[in-house]
Amino acid sequence: MTSAFRDMSQPAVHPAPPVEAIAPTSLEWQIGNTPLLSFKRITAHLPENVTVLAKAEWTNPGGSVKDRAALQIIREAERDGLLKPGRIILDSTSGNTGIAYAMIGAAKGYRVKLFLPANATPERIAILRAYGADLVLTDPLEGSDGALREARQLAAAEPERYFYADQYSNPANWHAHYYGTAPEIWRQTSGTVTHFVAGLGTSGTLMGTGKRLKEYNPAIRAISLQPDSPFHGVEGWKHMQTAMKPAIYNAGFADGDVAISTEAAQAMARRLAREEGYLVGVSAAGAMAGALRVAEGIAERGAAGVVVTLFPDNAYKYLSESFWTD
């Protein structure tokens, strides 16, 4: 299959695809332009010329980075005539993208049907139901891939009833980061960013942000993070060697890849809460663990660097998990 990401090998067109203007008082207007966080204790061992920063994506109105992709997917579909009044937004999700669809769908008057693994945290399921989404809980042993297969089957069976958003294959996913996240990072670091580090789920964050940052400065390195095994507890991440690979994923794009264990991510979540005051989700903590490794490698080489990662969400949807008090 030809990757939708590889199709963007042509010269970049920097202005975002034309879509209807967003009113500054709308829910949509609140998505993006998230703050960039710094750290004190966890990075205290690094030299002064090596910095780690992270985008606080929980400040989006739906509480996660997935607000960006969901909004871009919906807006491009409306622009292209694929999503019209009366059609139902359909997709698979591990939670956050579904919450974003449900939130935006409620604001714009669309019904939303979602497939997600039955072992999603109670908090995420409760939020989705509060927004009025129609949920189908799939086999937890099949993870996000099982939910994806069932969503595809329904989309193929009733194409006129549903707009299949297909976050794993839809280029609008990475467009959100190419046109939004990357320019924000470039501005917020005054162009000093040297490394961008992100976990792999749909891969849209790494693909879109990394591509645009490299257009600003080809020396910037894009580093992917993924679980160290197929069976893991880092919500939202994929072990790409064994998972169904998203069509937007280009395995040759990243300049490096770091494997993160579930235990390392959970330990970092506790550290971020207790040493920095940032109560973040386990994928955010995994991102911090990976960014710290990259920063330590820079320091070991005697180089300077500004390492930027992204915290997809905070911990409020995961507080029922036991690792917080282990």
Point out the residues that are catalytic: 66, 283
CB distance 315 to 269 below 8 Å: yes
Cβ proximity of 112 and 32 under 8 Å: no
Contact criterion met (CB below 8 Å) for 237 and 226: yes
Identify each DSSP E strand in 59-156 by its residue range: 88-92, 112-117, 134-138
Q: Distance (Å, rounded) from C-alpha 234 to C-alpha 286?
A: 7
| Token pair listed for 164 | 């299949």
| Distance in angstroms (rounded) separating the CA atoms of residues 41 and 119 | 34
| Cβ proximity of 6 and 67 under 8 Å | no
Alpha-helical segments (H) within 158-300: 171-176, 182-188, 204-216, 262-271, 282-300
Provide long-range contacts, Cβ within 8 A and 24+ apart, for 243-247.
243/143, 243/144, 243/145, 244/145, 244/148, 244/149, 244/168, 246/168, 246/169, 246/202, 246/203, 246/204, 247/1, 247/3, 247/4, 247/168, 247/169
Q: At what angle do helices 122-130 and 96-108 cross, to 10 degrees?
A: 10
Please give the helix or strand (H or E) that residue 303 lies within, else none. Answer: none
In whole angstroms, what is the distance from residue 89 CA to residue 162 CA? 6
CB neighbourhood size of 23 (10 A): 9
Residue 185 and residue 211 in contact, taking contact as beta carbons nearer than 8 Å? no
